[in-house]
Every structure is written in structure tokens, then in C-alpha cells.
């Protein structure tokens, strides 16, 4: 039977939920599991869904099936971000991105494609693949090149500031910060929670820029000492 939304304590007989509704419920429940520190349950659920997806969705209209497949692969990518310790799932992260992004492009869902790129960048960054993370984030930026000013565009620059800072490319990081600060001036109604994150990133990057010369000097002083030690 199926849940009766008007009377949740009872079941509706002979009326099973639509498969897309079931999958959306599973995705929503997986999100709750991650929020409640039950990541292992989320991993198990999304893995089972992906393994049975082709059979479960075979009767759907091709366009509808493509939307759901993109949604599920994108969700799996999110689970990878929150569960980096699950190596078996994390190893599939790039594959999840390729599967989801290819479908978003085919569907013409630009914003979802860009968010998927940012998500992949975050996962790769956490795995230590900084240059790859920057590359995928740049793909989102290119896609939004002709788009109107938006918070998504600002987030692209913010993430690029973080990716380049992690690669010790201070000048590039500062340039990305300046780009999103310029955009934020055109979005005065952006919420305080968003603004706080942008401000935090700006402070961190500018602080790194301030301390960078002394850091380089310290590294330069240590390297000759290390070489001298090797010579002895």
C-alpha cells in the first residue's frame, strides 16, 4: 500500500507510490541521515538506489528518466562530500559527476549543471585534488559567462578563491575575491548568512596575502639550512 497524505496512520490499498516519488523520498531521507550523523545509512541507501536504478526507471519516459538519473547521481556526489571516509563511494565521485553533468547539459539545466560542478570541486578539494577542483569550478564559471549577475556566479568566484589559495596562488585568489565583491555590490538583498560566508573568505584570503611575504622569507631561510644539512 501507499501512504495516505490526508490520514498518515492508514494505508491506501492497491495504490503504490509512483517510482519517482519513492526515489525522492529516499533522497530526502538520505539527507536527513547525513544531518543526523547517520552517514553510513545514507551511503547504503544511495548505493542501493544507484544499483537498482536502471531497472526501476526503465518504464519511464526517456526525458523524465534522464531528470531522475541526473538527480540521483548528483545526490550521490553530495553524499561523497559528507562521507569522505567511505572510500568505496568516494572513489566513484568523479564518475557520479560525469553522469550527472552530462545529463544536465543534455537537458539544458544550466544552473543545476553549475551547482554540480561546484559540488564536484568541493569533493575533489577535500580529496586533495586541488587543481582538478579548480578546473571543474572553472567549467561552471564558463557556463555562466553570459548569464545575469547571480549569487551562483558569486559562489563560483568564492570557491575559486579557496581552490587557488590552497595551491598558494595568492594573486589569483585575491583576484577572485575582488570579482565576487564586485558582484555582491550588485546584490544588496543577499541574506546575512550568505554575506557572512563571503566576508569570511575575503578576510582569510586578504590575511594570507598580508602574511605571504614573511612566510616566503621563512621558507627561503629554511631551505638553505636543509641543503646545508644534506651536504654534511
C-alpha 66/C-alpha 63 separation (Å) is: 5
pLDDT at residue 72, as a whole number: 92
For residue 82, pLDDT over 60 is answered with yes
Q: Determine contact, residues 62/110, Cβ cutoff 8 Å.
A: no
**Rounded to a whole number, what is the distance in angstroms from the first to the last CA of the chain?**
79
Mean pLDDT in residue range 3-25: 64
pLDDT at residue 218, as a whole number: 87
- CA-nearest of 49, 4, 9 to 26 is 49
Is pTM beyond 0.75? Reply is yes
Residue-wise pLDDT tens digits, 142-158 = 999 999 999 999 999 99
DSSP-derived pairing of the beta strands 2-3 and 11-12 = antiparallel
Residue-wise pLDDT tens digits, 55-77 = 778 878 888 889 989 999 999 99
The DSSP bridge partners found for residue 12 are 2
pLDDT at residue 36, as a whole number: 92
C-alpha 42/C-alpha 38 separation (Å) is: 7
Amino acid at each position: 500500500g501507499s501512504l495516505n497524505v490526508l490520514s498518515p496512520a492508514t494505508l491506501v490499498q492497491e495504490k503504490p507510490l509512483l517510482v519517482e516519488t519513492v526515489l525522492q523520498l529516499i533522497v530526502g531521507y538520505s539527507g536527513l541521515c547525513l544531518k543526523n550523523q547517520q552517514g553510513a545509512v545514507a551511503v547504503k541507501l544511495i548505493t542501493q538506489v544507484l544499483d537498482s536504478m536502471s531497472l526501476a526507471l526503465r518504464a519511464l519516459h526517456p526525458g523524465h528518466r534522464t531528470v531522475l538519473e541526473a538527480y540521483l547521481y548528483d545526490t550521490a556526489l553530495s553524499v561523497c562530500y559528507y562521507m569522505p571516509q567511505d572510500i568505496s563511494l568516494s572513489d566513484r565521485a568523479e564518475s557520479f559527476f560525469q553522469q550527472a553533468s552530462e545529463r544536465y547539459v543534455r537537458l539544458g539545466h544550466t544552473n543545476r549543471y553549475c551547482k554540480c560542478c561546484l559540488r564536484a570541486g568541493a569533493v575533489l578539494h577535500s580529496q586533495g585534488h586541488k587543481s582538478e577542483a579548480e578546473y571543474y569550478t572553472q567549467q561552471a564559471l564558463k557556463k555562466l559567462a553570459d548569464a545575469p549577475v547571480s549569487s551562483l556566479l558569486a559562489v563560483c568566484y568564492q570557491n575559486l578563491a579557496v581552490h587557488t589559495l590552497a595551491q598558494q596562488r595568492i594573486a589569483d585568489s585575491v583576484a577572485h575575491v575582488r570579482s565576487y565583491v564586485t558582484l555582491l555590490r550588485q546584490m544588496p538583498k543577499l541574506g546575512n548568512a550568505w554575506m557572512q560566508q563571503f566576508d569570511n573568505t575575503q578576510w582569510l584570503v586578504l590575511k594570507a596575502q598580508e602574511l605571504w611575504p614573511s612566510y616566503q622569507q621563512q621558507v627561503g631561510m629554511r631551505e638553505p639550512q636543509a641543503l646545508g644539512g644534506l651536504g654534511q
